[in-house]
């Protein structure tokens, strides 16, 4: 991607916002920043948790309050606003395979994929608001775009918020991806057994309805109209459903992604990812329980596991991946504790179980500590992942590993142990 073209594109947004503003007004103070840990600016018009990592509700009285985070750069022009935001997530990683091989590297994206984004809104009156988000992932170890084929690979959508909910269209994150903050202490990223299995992340041409939260319940539905068969939008479809209930210290929910392959392909199995979760907050402590049922994993070359028939970044179901014929049950328990306003510690353990009986099982766990001050979060993680002889799952971060194990002898049936030290700088 040409850096000059990107700079021209980013530079055009303030001019667009100025044109659509009803009248220019003196710049207001920037709005409060989202809570620390919020990854995606996904639902600016909803008073509900947003983000690939959902922001957590304010701690109970017994829990220390987190340190304030500086606001992103926001320009207000009358009823319109434009915000430049992003983050850099870099860490030093050591991962050891029981084959005897090691990877020592600086990696990108342990908790958040490094990115640069713009979000904006225009108040239309009577409870209506127009919104947009465009966001590009970056490999901070090299400065290269995460996807050189797209200008905005992570998100590119426009929406209309109303008193009756919000409608959006464009490239958007999946509901299972957004609920990381409800999944485990590390926001379902590096160190999570669930992340080693894989998570469907986002889809193109995605039409979404997000309901208001009523009596603690919110409903979200997606349908991706990117089918490849002429005059047949029901072919090669991807749809999603999510239910989330939150009241006081309790949160429970369900999120589903399902993809149908094109007709006449050799593997006609619909690929699904069903995610059930529950949280309980008690003072400074919080417990997480998760169950996932999915056939979104299969062989990758000589590796026993590694492919994702649903696609981790929005590819349609090809109907050629035999992994869709094998279902897995994934279980994970986790807890964290806020020691001080800045310091939080946590742990998890999880199991991947091949329900077909072919022995592609794995288990693992992690320990972590997070220290936050202003817009910087320091983290220290240690994890292990043990594959049964016929399994080949690998440790993965939010962005995947830019330097992973790729040889079958280093992956299949192996046990991995790792430790990482890094930081996330958000702006």
For residue range 46-98, list pLDDT tens digits in order. 433 333 343 444 444 444 455 555 667 788 887 889 999 999 999 999 999 99
More confident residue, 30 or 124: 124
What per-residue confidence (pLDDT) applies to 235?
66
Cα–Cα distances (Å) from 133 to 71, 87, 175, 298, 329, in that order, read 17, 15, 16, 33, 34
pLDDT of 21 over the 70 cut: no
Q: Per this entry, what is the length of the chain?
A: 427
Q: Could you tell me which residues come within 8 angstroms of residue 10 by beta carbon, excluding any fewer than 6 positions away?
A: 84, 116, 118
Q: Could you tell me which residues come within 8 angstroms of residue 109 by beta carbon, excluding any fewer than 6 positions away?
A: 89, 140, 397, 398, 399, 400
Pairing of strands 376-387, 362-373: antiparallel
- What is the number of structural domains in the chain? 1
pTM of the model as a whole: 0.82
What per-residue confidence (pLDDT) applies to 282?
96
Pairing of strands 343-354, 285-294: unpaired
pLDDT of 407 over the 80 cut: yes
CB 385, CB 415: distance < 8 Å: yes
What per-residue confidence (pLDDT) applies to 399?
85
% of residues, the chain, pLDDT over 70 = 80
For residue 84 the two structure tokens come to 């430049």
Kindly give the residue spans of alpha helices, DSSP state H, lying in 187-253: 193-197
Three-class SS of residue 103?
Answer: strand
pLDDT band at 316 (very low <50, low <70, confident <90, very high): confident
Q: What is the CATH number of the domain that holds 131?
A: 2.40.160.10
CB 255, CB 241: distance < 8 Å: yes
Q: Could you tell me which residues come within 8 angstroms of residue 418 by beta carbon, excluding any fewer than 6 positions away?
A: 93, 94, 95, 96, 381, 382, 383, 384, 395
Mean pLDDT of all residues belonging to the chain: 84
What per-residue confidence (pLDDT) applies to 195?
94
What per-residue confidence (pLDDT) applies to 22?
34
Highest-confidence segment of 13-17, 81-85, 242-246: 242-246
Residue-number span of the structural domain to which 418 is assigned: 3-426
State how far the Cα of 117 lies from the Cα of 88, in Å rounded to an integer.
12
For the ranges 59-68, 196-205, 303-312, 364-373, the lowest mean pLDDT is seen at 59-68
Cα angle: 192, vertex 196, 198; to 5 degrees: 110
What per-residue confidence (pLDDT) applies to 66?
52
Q: Could you tell me which residues come within 8 angstroms of residue 101 by beta carbon, excluding any fewer than 6 positions away?
A: 405, 407, 410
CA 417 to chain centre: 23
For residue range 325-363, list pLDDT tens digits in order. 999 999 999 999 999 999 999 999 999 999 988 899 999
What per-residue confidence (pLDDT) applies to 228?
55
């Amino acid at each position: 991607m040409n850096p000059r073209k990107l700079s021209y594109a980013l530079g055009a947004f303030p001019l667009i916002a100025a044109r659509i503003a009803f009248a220019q007004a003196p710049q207001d103070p920037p709005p409060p920043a989202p809570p620390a840990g919020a990854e995606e600016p996904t639902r600016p018009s909803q008073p509900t948790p947003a983000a690939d990592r959902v922001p957590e509700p304010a701690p109970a009285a017994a829990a220390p309050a987190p340190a304030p985070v500086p606001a992103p750069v926001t320009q207000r022009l009358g009823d319109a606003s434009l915000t430049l935001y992003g983050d850099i997530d870099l860490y030093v990683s050591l991962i050891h395979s029981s084959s005897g091989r090691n990877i020592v590297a600086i990696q990108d994206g342990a908790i958040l994929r490094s990115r640069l984004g713009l979000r904006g809104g225009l108040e239309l009156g009577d409870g209506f608001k127009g919104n947009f988000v465009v966001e590009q992932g970056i490999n901070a170890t090299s400065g290269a775009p995460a996807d050189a084929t797209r200008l905005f690979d992570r998100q590119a959508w426009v929406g209309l918020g109303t008193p009756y909910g919000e409608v959006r269209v464009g490239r958007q994150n999946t509901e299972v991806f957004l609920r990381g903050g409800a999944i485990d202490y590390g926001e379902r990223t590096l160190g999570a057994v669930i992340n080693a299995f894989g998570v469907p992340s986002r889809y193109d041409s995605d039409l979404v309805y997000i309901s208001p939260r009523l009596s603690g319940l919110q409903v979200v539905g997606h349908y991706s109209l990117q089918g490849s068969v002429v005059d047949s939008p029901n072919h090669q479809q991807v749809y999603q459903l999510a239910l989330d209930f939150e009241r006081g210290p309790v949160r429970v929910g369900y999120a589903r992604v399902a993809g149908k392959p094109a007709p006449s392909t050799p593997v006609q199995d619909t690929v699904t990812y069903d995610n059930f979760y529950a949280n309980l907050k008690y003072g400074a402590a919080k417990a997480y329980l998760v169950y996932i049922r999915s056939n979104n994993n299969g062989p990758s070359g000589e590796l026993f596991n590694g492919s994702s028939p649903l696609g981790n970044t929005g590819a349609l179901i090809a109907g050629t991946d035999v992994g869709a014929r094998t279902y897995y049950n994934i279980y994970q328990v986790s807890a964290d504790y806020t020691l001080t306003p800045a310091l939080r510690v946590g742990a998890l353990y999880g199991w991947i179980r091949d329900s077909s009986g072919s022995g592609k099982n794995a288990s693992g766990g992690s320990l972590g500590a997070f220290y936050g001050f202003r817009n910087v979060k320091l983290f220290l993680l240690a994890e292990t992942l043990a594959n049964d002889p016929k399994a080949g799952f690998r440790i993965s971060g939010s962005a995947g590993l830019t330097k992973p194990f790729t040889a079958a002898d280093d992956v299949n049936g192996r046990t991995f142990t790792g430790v990482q030290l890094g930081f996330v700088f958000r702006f």
